[in-house]
Amino acid sequence: MSVIAESQYKAENVGQRIIKLDVKTFPSGWKVVQLGDVIDIQGGSQPPKSNFIYEPKDDYVRLLQIRDFGKKPVPTYVPRNKVTKFCEKDDVLIARYGASLGRILTGMEGAYNVALAKTIFDKEIIFPKYLFYLLQTPLFQTPIHMISRSAQNGFNKGEIYPIEIPIAPLEQQKRIVAEIEKQFSRLDEAVANLKRVKANLKRYKASVLKASVEGKLTEEWRKQHLPAPSSVPGKFYTYAILCDDDSIYIGHTDDIERRWKEHRQGQGAEWTQKHKPVKIAHYEEHDTRAEAAEREKWLKTGFGRKWLKRELAAGRTRQAGDVEPADKLLERILEERRANWQGRGKYKEPVAPDTDGLPELPEGWVWTNFEQLAEGIPNAIKAGPFGSALKKLFYVQKGYKIYGQEQVIREDPYYGDYYVDEQKYQDLLSCAVKSGDLLISLVGTIGRVLILPDGIEPGIINPRLVKISLNKEIINPLFIKIYLQSTSVKAMFAIASHGGTMDILNLGILKGIPIPLPPVSEQSKILEEFDRIASIEAGLVEGIEANSQRSDRLRQSILKNAFSGELCS
């Protein structure tokens, strides 16, 4: 017998939305009915917000809203006498509006608001959990999502009552629910494992970023390429150090790694304190200290020095490495920039970073900053124009592209179609970009980076970006991008950024960020290692996403089998 009389509802041209069911395809004892024959829908009530409180209180009741069934509930309480619609924990609710339209909810008690509708049915005919799962299938979800009464995608009774649903005998409904939940439990466990793997991958990526910019990814590579061979216990060494003025210092030691470090730090010898060491140009290994001392003595003679210079010139010496230390390269680049300056006014020496409190860097690295790494040209570091200089009224359909946060956040320089004409471009020429430039977001989603590729449209940056033209002879832009993604820099940005309702960076903050600079060849090795690990990570993420989607399909497959009578008898 119908719970609701036929006169209570009217189908409003929904026939084309309904999945027609044939009772003959279902097991014996099953029925196919219209939803309105067995279920009524009761909308919620909405007391004024002035009645809301956010802590439990006598004579108040929890007002359930859609968000309360999600990950971030906001418990809200209202006077019991201000609401008229209540639900129990086993009641089945339907979300009526917006993006949550059609969500099926259960498990909470209280009053419910107008964004929810309660299903009312005879529990001697329908087991509540049976209905809860049934309404999640395409039998109900397909027609309800085709309904579009208003901008909010709501529905009324007349539109959903004609939906056809299968009803199994009550005891079989309970067995079906038990089997669904058993199989869902297995799926939930698998999904939880996938989420753990994904979280571990996120932590792993952060650790790889950290290792990249701290030199840990290339520790073994550095031992083979930087100007200090590995010491062997029980061995003694004679060595020749090439200094920055092309002079050569000769000595001997029982630990060449330690001794090289002492020379680099100005603690080795008076000569290397005054003449900066560049690399170990030659070294020899001996079994006794006496042999090493005797060889040092000979190399310091006229014959020995001539031999050493001849061997160095011919490239026949046993050198510890072929890497130019970053501080040596930086010094040379800055000297060239100073000599070649062609900008307006007197050349301004870039301020070196404040290294107080910074961690010690690997051998061959040096602390630097954007001012030192930028190209030696005017406007190499430039924030976008003031907003008044680039209003929307200046935009044209075609011309010079405006690059903004939308391109940076999407990492897509080809996105967007905002342009200015030739005159405005010339007015804002200091904000012009070129291939290889670094674009960094300053507002809201701060610190995101886009490297402009070859062949980009000529254009300018908008007020929410800064552009940096780097000297690629000394720094690979990709290394900077990795560094700016690291947790240490994100923490610096979080502390330094400011703004009323959103985070804001500025040019001063960016210029003050200390940057660890490895030798150029080591940068390439770091990026090679990072790409290799990132490729592995991308494959794992792809596998996780594929398995997550497979889990969703399996869930629907379980429901389909359940409500066609194939899951259990």
Among 480, 500, 518, the domain boundary falls at 518
Q: Give the domain-ending residue among 518, 539, 556.
A: 518
Q: Clarify whether residues 388 and 465 are in a common domain.
A: yes
- Is 76 part of any domain? yes
The CA distance from 173 to 127, in Å, is 6
pLDDT in tens, 271-319: 999 998 888 889 999 999 999 999 999 999 999 999 998 888 877 776 6
Annotate 5-27 with b (16+ C-beta within 10 A) or e (fewer).
Answer: eeeebeeeebeebbeebeeeebe
Can you give the CATH number for the domain in which 294 is found?
A: 3.40.1440
Burial 481-499 (b: 16+ CB within 10 A, else e): bbbbbbebbeebbeebbee
Longest CA span, the chain: 117
Residue 527 lies in a domain: no
CA distances from 267 to 110, 271, 325, 440 (A): 76, 10, 18, 41
Q: Is residue 351 part of a domain?
A: yes
Q: Which residues form the domain of 267?
A: 227-322
**Pair (278, 349) in one structural domain:** no
Residue 396, token pair as written in the block: 């044209």
Q: What residues form DSSP beta bridges with 460?
A: 402, 432
**Is 277 in the same domain as 305?**
yes
Rounded CA separation 541/545 (Å)? 6
- Domain shared by 302 and 334, yes or no: no
Which amino acid would we find at residue 516? P
Q: Residues 295, 160: one domain? A: no
- pTM exceeds 0.95: no
What is the enclosing helix (H) or strand (E) of 240?
Answer: strand 236-243
Q: Where residue 123 sits, what CATH number does that domain have?
A: 3.90.220.20
Answer for the pair 402, 462: CB distance below 8 angstroms, yes or no: yes
Joined tokens for residue 353: 């970073």
Q: 120 by DSSP, 3-state: which? A: strand
501 and 367 co-located in one domain: yes
Q: Is residue 154 part of a domain?
A: yes
Same domain, yes or no, for 42 and 104?
yes
Strands (E), 244-350: 248-253, 277-286
For tokens 């060239």, the residue is 336
Q: Tokens 């009645």 appear where?
A: 51
Q: Answer yes or no: is 491 within a domain.
A: yes
Q: For each of the chain's 569 residues, which pLDDT tens digit applies? A: 333 333 333 344 445 567 788 889 999 999 999 999 999 999 999 999 999 999 999 999 999 999 999 888 999 999 999 999 999 999 999 999 878 899 999 999 999 999 999 999 999 999 999 999 999 999 999 888 887 554 355 788 888 999 999 999 999 999 999 999 999 999 989 888 888 888 888 888 888 888 888 888 888 887 666 666 778 899 999 999 989 898 999 999 999 989 998 998 899 999 999 998 888 889 999 999 999 999 999 999 999 999 998 888 877 776 655 677 788 888 888 888 888 877 777 878 888 888 888 888 887 899 999 999 999 888 999 999 988 888 888 999 999 999 999 999 999 999 999 999 999 999 999 999 999 999 999 888 888 999 999 999 999 999 999 999 999 999 999 999 999 988 888 888 888 776 555 567 888 888 889 999 999 989 999 998 888 888 888 888 888 888 888 988 999 999 999 998 888 76
- Measured between alpha carbons, how far is 207 from 211 in angstroms, rounded to an integer? 6
Do residues 399 and 289 both lie within one domain? no
Query: At CA 246, angle to CA 352 and CA 265, rounded to 5?
Result: 45
Kindly state whether residue 260 falls inside one of the protein's structural domains: yes
Q: Are 198 and 151 in contact (CB under 8 A)?
A: no
Tokens read off for 494 = 């979080």
Residue type, 488: S
282: phi then psi, degrees, rounded to nearest 5: -160, 145
Q: Mark which of 131, 146, 167 sits at the end of a domain.
A: 167
Rounded Cα distance, 79 and 59, in Å: 6
Counted domains in the chain: 3
pLDDT digits (tens, 9 = 90+) for 529-547: 888 888 888 888 888 888 8
Q: Please indicate, yes or no, whether residues 54 and 96 belong to a single structural domain of this protein.
A: yes
Q: Would 95 be classed as within a structural domain?
A: yes
Residues 448, 420: contact at Cβ < 8 Å?
no
Beta bridge partners of 465: 441
